[in-house]
C-alpha cells in the first residue's frame, strides 16, 4: 500500500484529492499538509507545512514513512500576476524543495502543470503535447520551468516524476482562488444564489476545462501506470471539454431558463486567457497511460447545479 504525503492539501485540488486518496489507499496512509489549519477537524493525519521550508518537508515525509509525494501547493495565474516575486519564490521554491525531498527519500513524485504553461505563440486549437511553450505570465514561466525541473530530476537523479497539464478545474467542494478559469466555478454559485452572473472573461473566449472527479482519477491513473509505459513524464495534456462563457451559460439555462449572464471583463485575467490555448490534444496521455474523462459539459453542469443547490440551501 502506498504512503502518500500531499502539500497544499486544503487548496482546490488538495481538498478533494485527500478524500480520493484516503478512499483508495486508506485514511492512515495519506498525510495532508498545508500552511494553515483546516477549518474543521480532519479525519486522518494532518501537519502544518510551509513548502518554502525544505528541511521541515523532508522531516515530515521521513517521519511519516512516505513513498510518494504529491506537491499541490502553488499560487494560481491571476494571483501570481499581482505578485510575481511571491509567485516565483513560492511556486519554484516549493517545487525545488519537494523535488529534493523526493530525491533524498526516493519518493514517487507528482505535481500539476497547467494550460498556463502555453503562450500566445503556441498553436491554439488541438494544442499538441510537444509544442512551443513561451508563456507571457509569471505563472506560466513557473509551470514551464517546473516541467523542465521535474524532467531534470528524472533524467539526472532517477526520481520517478510525473505530471499533467491541468485545464481549468471545476468543483463544488473548495472554491479556487486567484485563477483565470475561476469564472467557470463562480458562475454556479451566483446562478443558484442570484439567478445571474457577471463574467470577468469575455464572451467567445474558449478555454479547456475538466470536472474534478476526472482530474483526480487522472492523477491516480498516471501514478499507478507502470513506468515502462511512459515516454513523456512532465507533463501530459489532459482535458475534458472546451467552452466559452455563453456556452456555459446556455448549458445552465437548460436547468434554469431565467438564468442571465452579463460581462464586465477584467483586462488582466482576459489577457491571460487570450494567451492560453482554446483546446488541447490529449492523445499522448490516452495512448501512454489510458487517460479518459467521463464528464462532458452537460453532465458536469447537471452535477454542479445539484451539488451547489444542496450546499447553499
Residues with active-site annotation? 139
Binding mask 263-292 for ligand AKB (x = CB under 6 A): ------------------------------
Considering the rule CB under 6 A, would residue 114 count as an interface residue with ligand AKB? yes
DSSP character string of 253-298: HTT-TT-EEEE---HHHHHHHHTS-S-B--HHHHHHH-------HH
> CB of 296: closest distance to ligand AKB in angstroms?
19
Within 152-171, the residues that bind ligand AKB by CB under 6 A are 166-168
Identify which of 186, 158, 176, 58 has the alpha carbon closest to the alpha carbon of residue 114.
176
> CB of 162: closest distance to ligand AKB in angstroms?
17
CA distance 98 to 107: 10
Helix, strand and coil in the chain, % to nearest 5: 45, 15, 35
Considering the rule CB under 6 A, would residue 115 count as an interface residue with ligand AKB? yes
Q: Residue from 140, 146, 179, 277 that binds ligand AKB (CB under 6 A)? A: 179
Only segment of 119-127, 176-184, 212-220, 283-291 that touches ligand AKB (CB under 6 A): 176-184
> CB of 228: closest distance to ligand AKB in angstroms?
30
CA distance 233 to 240: 20
Identity of the residue, 65 or 177, whose beta carbon is nearer to ligand AKB in the bound complex: 177
279 Cβ neighbours under 8 A, 6+ residues apart: 125, 126, 127, 206, 208, 239, 242
Only segment of 108-116, 149-157, 230-238, 286-294 that touches ligand AKB (CB under 6 A): 108-116
Considering the rule CB under 6 A, would residue 140 count as an interface residue with ligand AKB? no
Binding mask 48-77 for ligand AKB (x = CB under 6 A): ----------------------------xx
CA distance 146 to 310: 38
69 Cβ neighbours under 8 A, 6+ residues apart: 4, 5, 6, 7, 61, 98, 101, 102, 107, 108, 109, 110
> CB of 22: closest distance to ligand AKB in angstroms?
24
Residues in the site for ligand AKB, rule: CB under 6 A? 76-77, 114-116, 139, 166-168, 176, 179-181
Amino acid at each position: 500500500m502506498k504512503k502518500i504525503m500531499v502539500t497544499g492539501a486544503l487548496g482546490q485540488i488538495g481538498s478533494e484529492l485527500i478524500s480520493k486518496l484516503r478512499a483508495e489507499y486508506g485514511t492512515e496512509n495519506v498525510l495532508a499538509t498545508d500552511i494553515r489549519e483546516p477549518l474543521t477537524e480532519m479525519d486522518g493525519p494532518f501537519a502544518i507545512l510551509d513548502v518554502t521550508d525544505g528541511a521541515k518537508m523532508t522531516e515530515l515525509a521521513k517521519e511519516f514513512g512516505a513513498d510518494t509525494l504529491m506537491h499541490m501547493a502553488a499560487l494560481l495565474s491571476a494571483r501570481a500576476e499581482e505578485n510575481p516575486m511571491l509567485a516565483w519564490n513560492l511556486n519554484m521554491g516549493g517545487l525545488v524543495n519537494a523535488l529534493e525531498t523526493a530525491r533524498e527519500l526516493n519518493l514517487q513524485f507528482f505535481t500539476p502543470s497547467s494550460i498556463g504553461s502555453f503562450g500566445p505563440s503556441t498553436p491554439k486549437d488541438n494544442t499538441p503535447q510537444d509544442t512551443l511553450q513561451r508563456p507571457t505570465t509569471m505563472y506560466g514561466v513557473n509551470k514551464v520551468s517546473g516541467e523542465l525541473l521535474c524532467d531534470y530530476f528524472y533524467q539526472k537523479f532517477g526520481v520517478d516524476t510525473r505530471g499533467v497539464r491541468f485545464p481549468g478545474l471545476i468543483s463544488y467542494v473548495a472554491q479556487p482562488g486567484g485563477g483565470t478559469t475561476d469564472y467557470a466555478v463562480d458562475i454556479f454559485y451566483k446562478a443558484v444564489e442570484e439567478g445571474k452572473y457577471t463574467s470577468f472573461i469575455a464572451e467567445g473566449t474558449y478555454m479547456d476545462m475538466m470536472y474534478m472527479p476526472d482530474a483526480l482519477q487522472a492523477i491516480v491513473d498516471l501514478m499507478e501506470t507502470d513506468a515502462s509505459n511512459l515516454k513523456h513524464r512532465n507533463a501530459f495534456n489532459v482535458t475534458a471539454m472546451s467552452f466559452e462563457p455563453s456556452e456555459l451559460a446556455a448549458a445552465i439555462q437548460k436547468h434554469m431558463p431565467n438564468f442571465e449572464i452579463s460581462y464586465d471583463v477584467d483586462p488582466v485575467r482576459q489577457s491571460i486567457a487570450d494567451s492560453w490555448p482554446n483546446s488541447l490534444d490529449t492523445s499522448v496521455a490516452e495512448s501512454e497511460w489510458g487517460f479518459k474523462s467521463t464528464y462532458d459539459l452537460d453532465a458536469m453542469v447537471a452535477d454542479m447545479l445539484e451539488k451547489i443547490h444542496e450546499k447553499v440551501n
